[in-house]
Amino acid sequence: MRRGVRSFALTACAIGAAFAAGCGSSSSSSSSAASGSTTSGSSSGAAASGGNKQKIAIVASRSLSSNLGKPATDAAVLIKGQLGNPVTTQGSLTQSQVLPTLEGYAARGYPLVIVDGAEMQQQATVAAKTYPKTKFVVVNGNASASPNLSSATYSWEQSGFLAGIVAGLTTKSNKVSTMSTIKIPPIEGLYYGFQQGVKQVNPNAQTINTYTGTFSPDLSLAANLTSTQGSKGNDVVFTVATDSDPGVFRGAAQSKMNVVGYGVNEANLGPRIILSSTLVNYAGTMLTMARLFNEGQLQPKVYTYGFKDHAFALAPITNVADGTAKKIRSVAKQAMDGKFQIKTLSADF
């Protein structure tokens, strides 16, 4: 087993309770503006050892108070508490702010910058070239470059498979759907896994996928597209529309559809219609990257995590009969134990 994978598995065990609850605390260890300088140069510093832990920055395009921004602050708490590194978190970055922010942290001597989102991968690649002594890690990315650019990604088909199990065992119309942002391999992988999970438990069910066509939040568009799915008989939707998820829940409620959330426990968005959420251990991934950095083991490569690393789980099952919930949990456990062959969808982005 690769060192990164072993470290991730140990991390997942250490924070298992927090992961099952949606990744723990919502407060970060520190928060500061870092829109930063674009001055050329490189920062000094390498992985620290012992008690002299170096500072880490975690940046996100999403609001840190949002469901999918929260793992960044959870990771900050875990890193500070378990590893001792001081951590600064910053969210709500627009595309034009990403590059100067990343370079600003590097210029101010942050030896590790964790970039929480593939939508910032291009800018991370540029910043890594400008600041070769600062290590950059893109979570959900697939970019790597020597000496200092790494990514952490996931076996997305496995996460989608879990959602498919929930949808396939709860649909009454045998028509289920997903709502996504734009057509990129992680989204396609989730849908491909979703299709397989649905067919595993309900061969008669049909699946469709709809794209909003933008990463930018558009709650009205997401609600309207979800309502359209409902008007065609789809009664369960798996939402991977990120910041537009509240719109999906709104459209689903209007159309009397149930929802499977994604990434974190999204029950707060629709407690009466949510079935479950496919949890992704984003905070554990960031903790693992920080641990590898501290140990001097962070390599310029793509780390991939899945069931064997405890990267995915299901949030509590709700709004279904007890027997159905028990069946979902049983089949999901079989999936996570590797009992099913889940095909992968390979592509570059």
For residue range 319-328, what is the model confidence (pLDDT) as tens digits? 999 999 999 9
182 and 323 within one domain? yes
Q: Whole-angstrom Cα distance, residue 273 to residue 267?
A: 9
- How many structural domains comprise the chain? 2
Torsional class of 207: left (φ above 0), alpha (ψ -120 to 50), beta (otherwise): beta
Query: Does the pLDDT value for residue 21 go beyond 50?
Result: no
d(CA 134, CA 122) in angstroms, rounded, equals 16
Task: Tell me, yes or no, if the pTM score tops 0.85.
Answer: no
In a shared domain, residues 50 and 86 = yes
Q: Are residues 249 and 146 in the same domain?
A: no
* Whether residue 261 is found in the same domain as residue 206: yes
Same-domain status, 12 and 132: yes
pLDDT of 159 above 50: yes
Q: Are residues 143 and 199 in the same domain?
A: no
Picking from 86, 95, 31, the residue whose alpha carbon sits closest to that of residue 64 is 31
Residue 129 belongs to domain spanning: 3-154+281-309
Q: What pLDDT score was predicted for residue 242?
A: 87
Regarding whether 179 and 72 lie in a shared domain, the answer is no
pLDDT in tens, 173-202: 999 999 999 988 889 999 999 999 999 999
CATH number for the domain harbouring residue 15: 3.40.50.2300
189 and 317, same domain (yes or no): yes
For residues 146 and 19, membership in a common domain is answered with yes
User: Is residue 349 assigned to a domain?
Assistant: no
Question: Do 197 and 317 belong to one domain?
Answer: yes
In a domain, 83, yes or no: yes
pLDDT tens, residue by residue, 78-111: 999 999 999 999 999 999 999 999 999 999 999 9
Residues 334, 328: Cα–Cα separation, whole Å: 10
3-state secondary structure of 177: strand
- Interval 246-275: pLDDT, tens: 999 999 999 999 999 999 999 999 999 999
Q: So what's the pLDDT on residue 37?
A: 29
Question: What distance separates the 2 farthest-apart alpha carbons in the chain?
Answer: 61
